[in-house]
Amino acid sequence: MPGKIWFVGAGPGDPDLLTVKGRKLLEAAGAVLFAGSLVDQAATLFSPPDCEIRDSKDMTLEEMSAWLIERAARHETVVRLQTGDPGLYGALIEMTRPLTAAGIEWAIVPGVSSAMASMAAAGETLTLPEVTQTVILTRVAGRTPMPPGEELEALAAHKTTLCIYLSITLLHKVQDALRAAGWAEDAPILVVQKASWPGEEKIVRGTIKDIKRRCQDAKIASQAMIVASPTLGAADWPELIRSKLYDPTFTHRFRKATENDHE
Ligand code: SAH
């Protein structure tokens, strides 16, 4: 019986942000293949001393599949450790298909994505009542083209929270798309580099107009999340529309209103 291959989300960098399930699997792993470019080496901290650990940064997809299949023949638990959540820009299905074809069992353990970690680092919220209730996780076209209808300009027209991955070197394209979608020149933009990495995280705040210069000044050219959102800065707004969930005049499934409810 071959072992099982687990695609584990390592979270954004801080090893404490790995899930308990992910950590248990690493502790049980006979072999770990990790995505070296972004996963903090510390995430391999939890694997046992005799565990075979390999960085995948110099491997092709075919080599990774072969490596995993070979290890599954020898170990009950094999982990493919990926940054953030494995289902976001993780070439996940390309990796699972050869395993299925080889008759090897696999499963996915979700992870804390860098969009969530970046907003948390900055003390910001992804949604806010009556401001935006929608989050779009996207990127701009680099070598991978965007499918029709998913150009940033079209998505930005919704004026929701936009978490833009893989695009820090294309910040000018982000600026152009937001402008073309009608965002104000002084709309706030947040950039977080290495969110949650102990001692290495950088948080830069700016506007559509100056965010590129601010990132240059902070020497941010990789491993960064760009967030454009009408919620940014809400912690300091003078007026805030409250969430109904915690409103004392609002009854829901778990709590009765303490004052007169809706008329
Ligand atoms: N699966 C990952 C994303 C992989 S794509 C996730 O869920 O987070 C790589 C991109 O993710 C980077 O270009 C950057 O935009 C973002 N990223 C990954 N880790 C990050 C971190 N710690 N801080 C900020 N952005 C990060």
For 14, residues 6+ apart whose C-beta sits below 8 A from its C-beta are: 40, 117, 196, 197, 198
What's the gap in Å between 18 CA and the centre of ligand 1? 14
Ramachandran assignment for 246, one of left (phi > 0), alpha (psi -120 to 50 degrees), beta (any other): alpha
94 shares a domain with 163: no
Separation of CA 198 and ligand 1 centre (Å): 15
Distance 155 CA to ligand 1 centre (A): 20
| Ligand 1 atom, smallest distance to 85 CA | 7
User: What per-residue confidence (pLDDT) applies to 231?
Assistant: 98
C-beta separation of 84 from 114 below 8 A: yes
Give pTM, 2 decimals: 0.92
Q: Do 208 and 123 share a domain, yes or no? A: yes
User: Does the CB atom of residue 17 touch ligand 1 within 6 A?
Assistant: no
Shared domain check, 154 and 51:
no
Provide the 8-state DSSP code for 13.
Answer: S
Q: What is the pLDDT of residue 263?
A: 36
The pLDDT mean for the chain works out to 92
Asked if residue 78 is part of any domain, the answer here is yes
CATH code of the domain containing 102? 3.40.1010.10
Same domain? For 121 and 194 the reply is yes
The pLDDT tens digits of the residues spanning 5-36 come to 999 999 999 999 999 999 999 999 999 999 87
- Parent domain of 13: 4-109
Q: Measure 156 CA to ligand 1 centroid, in angstroms.
A: 20
| Ligand 1 pocket member 96 (CB < 6 A) | no
Closest CA to 261 of 247, 251, 245: 251
Is 251 part of a structural domain of the chain? Answer: no
Nearest CA to ligand 1 atom 11: 165
Q: Residue 150: which residues within 8 A CB-CB, separation 6 or more?
A: 138
Q: Do residues 139 and 25 share a domain? A: no
Task: Supply the residue whose CA is at minimum distance from atom 18 of ligand 1.
Answer: 114
Do 34 and 143 belong to one domain? no
**243 lies in a domain?**
no
pLDDT score recorded for residue 239 = 83
Q: What is the pLDDT of residues 180-234, one digit of tens each?
A: 999 999 999 999 999 999 899 999 999 999 999 999 999 999 999 999 999 999 9
Q: Tell me the CA–centroid distance for residue 31 and ligand 1, in Å.
A: 24
Q: Give the model's pLDDT for residue 195.
A: 96
- Domain boundary among the residues 93, 109, 125 is at 109
- State whether 105 and 127 are in the same domain: no
